[in-house]
């Protein structure tokens, strides 16, 4: 087990190095740190001097090593637009995105488990057909369209909920949270429903198919033969054993939600990391773009490694198969 964990961690460190390499290559090719520092109104001689001083004329590899060394220390360069260290900008925007992802995953968990279990237990009922049909349509509706329709119905026509921004936030030890005010919750409802709409059908189908497979197994048949109450068979014997694949696939999928926050945040002008990323693209803020890429890369790698390790802990065959 120990060897397995170590190997996974080394692998993920390698992936982070590669992401860093790609990020640095982009910055090297497209970005212009001199412009980021002094703007465009400085003479060419001064710029060249600054270039030399910053070490921008050094060989590519030695610049890369310097970039990674700084990155490990948490220095990902200065943002051209904000005139602040990029990591600070990102950390300031992160709570908004994380709260959005958190509330959406709560919605996904509390809706998909009952719906998926029901669809597995009663595969022929009309409600199951409705759920499965709706989930095919749900998968096919782009998240930004859901978001726009929600805005049109609930903000423009009915006027019940606000359509953009985070509303009132409270600072909690430096964490700007909207979860503690009623206004913040009102602003959260539409974006989190929109964001969860993309993953909900996937989770329902996943839970249903896993549950149906478990219901076919010998020990469930045995439990029925013993004459146990249906509730006990369904929830203690069957459902518990569908949780493992659901958790592992689910962990990765919740990481993928971060990609979809770019879309939801754009529609709702939610001041999170995704919105910031698109602004950075529009402003050609290469440093900030690369920093975002690195941060999101590290988050993805961390989530995946953790899921793999948990899976290895619970299911020993993975560890052995991975050894070859």
Rounded to whole angstroms, how far apart are CA atoms 56 and 64? 11
Q: What residue has token string 């904000």?
A: 82
Interacting residues toward another protein by CB under 8 A:
11, 15, 26, 29-30, 136-137, 139-145, 148-149, 151-152, 156, 163, 209, 213, 252, 255-256, 258-260, 262-263, 266-267, 277-278, 281-282, 284, 286, 289, 293, 296-297, 300-301, 304
φ, ψ of residue 171 in degrees (nearest 5): -90, 120
Nearest approach, Cβ of residue 311 and another protein (Å): 13
Measured from the CB atom, is 121 or 263 closer to another protein?
263
Nearest approach, Cβ of residue 170 and another protein (Å): 28
Which of 191, 194, 197 lies closest to 163 in space, CA to CA?
A: 191
Cα angle: 190, vertex 182, 268; to 5 degrees:
30
Nearest approach, Cβ of residue 174 and another protein (Å): 28
Nearest approach, Cβ of residue 281 and another protein (Å): 5
Q: What residue has token string 């013993």?
A: 226
Measured from the CB atom, is 170 or 252 closer to another protein?
252
Nearest approach, Cβ of residue 120 and another protein (Å): 12
Measured from the CB atom, is 108 or 169 closer to another protein?
108
Which of 161, 187, 164 lies closest to 99 in space, CA to CA?
A: 187
Rounded to whole angstroms, how far apart are CA atoms 66 and 156? 51
Question: Alpha helix (H) ranges present in the chain?
Answer: 2-30, 33-38, 44-54, 60-72, 86-121, 126-140, 143-150, 182-215, 218-225, 230-232, 240-268, 273-282, 286-314, 316-323
Measured from the CB atom, is 71 or 199 closer to another protein?
199
Measured from the CB atom, is 28 or 175 closer to another protein?
28
Rounded to whole angstroms, how far apart are CA atoms 48 and 57? 10
Please check whether residue 151 is in contact with residue 190, taking contact to mean a CB–CB distance below 8 angstroms. yes
User: Which of the 8 DSSP states describes residue 123?
Assistant: T
Measured from the CB atom, is 12 or 192 closer to another protein?
12
Measured from the CB atom, is 116 or 169 closer to another protein?
116
Rounded to whole angstroms, how far apart are CA atoms 198 and 273? 19
Measured from the CB atom, is 215 or 296 closer to another protein?
296
Please check whether residue 99 is in contact with residue 179, taking contact to mean a CB–CB distance below 8 angstroms. yes
Nearest approach, Cβ of residue 217 and another protein (Å): 14
Nearest approach, Cβ of residue 289 and another protein (Å): 6
User: Which of the 8 DSSP states describes residue 78?
Assistant: B
Nearest approach, Cβ of residue 42 and another protein (Å): 22
- Both tokens assigned to 24: 């640095």
């Amino acid at each position: 087990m120990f060897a397995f964990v170590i190997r996974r961690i080394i692998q993920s460190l390698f992936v982070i190095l590669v992401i860093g390499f790609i990020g640095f290559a982009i910055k090297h090719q497209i970005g212009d740190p001199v412009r980021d520092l002094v703007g465009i109104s400085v003479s060419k001689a001064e710029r060249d001097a600054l270039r030399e001083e910053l070490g921008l004329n050094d060989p590519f590899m030695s610049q890369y090593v310097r970039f990674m060394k700084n990155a490990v220390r948490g220095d990902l360069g200065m943002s051209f637009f904000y005139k602040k260290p990029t990591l600070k900008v990102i950390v300031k925007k992160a709570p908004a995105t994380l709260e959005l992802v958190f509330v959406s995953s709560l919605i996904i968990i509390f809706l998909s488990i009952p719906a998926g279990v029901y669809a597995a237990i009663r595969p022929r009922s009309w409600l199951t057909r409705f759920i499965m049909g709706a989930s095919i349509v749900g998968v096919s509706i782009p998240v930004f369209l859901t978001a726009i329709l929600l805005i049109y119905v609930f903000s423009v026509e009915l006027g019940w909920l606000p359509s953009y921004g985070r509303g009132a936030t409270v600072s909690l030890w430096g964490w700007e949270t909207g979860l503690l005010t009623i206004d913040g919750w009102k602003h959260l409802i539409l974006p989190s429903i929109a964001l969860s709409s993309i993953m909900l059908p996937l989770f329902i189908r996943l839970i249903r198919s896993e549950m149906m497979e478990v219901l076919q197994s010998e020990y469930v048949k045995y439990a029925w033969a013993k004459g146990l109450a249906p509730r006990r068979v369904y929830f203690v014997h069957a459902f518990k054993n569908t949780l493992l694949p659901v958790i592992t696939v689910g962990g990765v999928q919740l990481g993928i939600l971060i990609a979809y926050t770019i879309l939801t945040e754009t529609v709702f002008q939610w001041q999170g990391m995704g919105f910031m990323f698109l602004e950075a693209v529009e402003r050609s803020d290469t440093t900030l773009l690369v920093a975002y890429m690195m941060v999101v890369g590290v988050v993805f790698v961390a989530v995946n490694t953790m899921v793999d390790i948990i899976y290895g802990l619970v299911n020993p065959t993975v560890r052995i198969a991975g050894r070859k």
